[in-house]
């Protein structure tokens, strides 16, 4: 533990001033940048925290939730785009093994999209993601039928 002195800062002289009542006190002649500023204790026990733009804590929390929801929707839309691209690649695949691996990746992706899509708060965005997921899944099922063994 470090001990700190309450006396004058090292290297700065101390001056004495005598008040009108005859009492003397010491004053430090430190430069302004060396003065320590104490943070005042808040008057309230639980102050309302505000962001720099003046939004209260609950408004800030709601704005962050909305931004999180928008980011989730954007992520899921990009994931659906990627799933579409993988399905197109599976359609053009020469080997059934490569096509099967691509189709399995799309199945895993759709499971993740459905799980995360249930967390979207905006009903319109949730419905849009759900409908698009259904379209990709129908496309997946159509392509999967091409690579299934016929049993002959």
Q: Give the model's pLDDT for residue 10.
A: 52
The 3-class SS string of the chain reads: CCCCCCCCCCCCCEEEEECCCCCEEEEECCCHHHCCCCCCCCCCCCCCCECCCCCEHHHHHHHHHHHHHHHHHHHHHHHHHHHHHHHHHHHCCCCHHHHHHHHHHHHHHHHHHHHHHCCCCCHHHHHHHHHHHHHHHHHHHHHHHHHCCCCC
Q: Give the model's pLDDT for residue 56.
A: 64
Residue 80 lies in a domain: yes
Q: Give the model's pLDDT for residue 38.
A: 57
Residue 142 lies in a domain: yes
Q: Give the model's pLDDT for residue 148.
A: 77
Q: Give the model's pLDDT for residue 13.
A: 53
Q: Give the model's pLDDT for residue 94.
A: 86
Q: Which residues of the chain have pLDDT under 70?
A: 1-56, 149-152
Domain of 65, CATH number, reads: 1.20.58
Residue 99 lies in a domain: yes
Q: Which domain holds residue 89?
A: 58-147
Q: Give the model's pLDDT for residue 104.
A: 95
State how many domains the chain has.
Answer: 1
Q: Give the model's pLDDT for residue 58.
A: 80
Q: Give the model's pLDDT for residue 48.
A: 54
């Amino acid at each position: 533990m470090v001990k700190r002195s309450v006396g004058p800062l090292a290297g700065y002289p101390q001056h004495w001033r005598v008040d009108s009542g005859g009492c003397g006190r010491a004053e430090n002649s430190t430069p302004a940048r060396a003065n320590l500023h104490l943070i005042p204790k808040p008057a309230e026990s639980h102050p309302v925290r505000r962001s720099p733009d003046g939004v209260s804590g609950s408004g800030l929390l709601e704005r962050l939730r909305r931004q999180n929801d928008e980011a989730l929707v954007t992520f899921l839309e990009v994931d659906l785009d990627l799933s579409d691209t993988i399905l197109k690649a599976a359609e053009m695949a020469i080997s059934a093994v490569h096509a099967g691996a691509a189709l399995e990746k799309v199945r895993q992706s759709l499971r993740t999209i459905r799980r995360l899509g249930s967390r979207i708060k905006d009903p319109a965005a949730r419905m849009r993601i759900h409908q698009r997921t259904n379209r990709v899944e129908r496309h997946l099922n159509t392509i999967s039928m091409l690579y299934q063994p016929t049993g002959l």
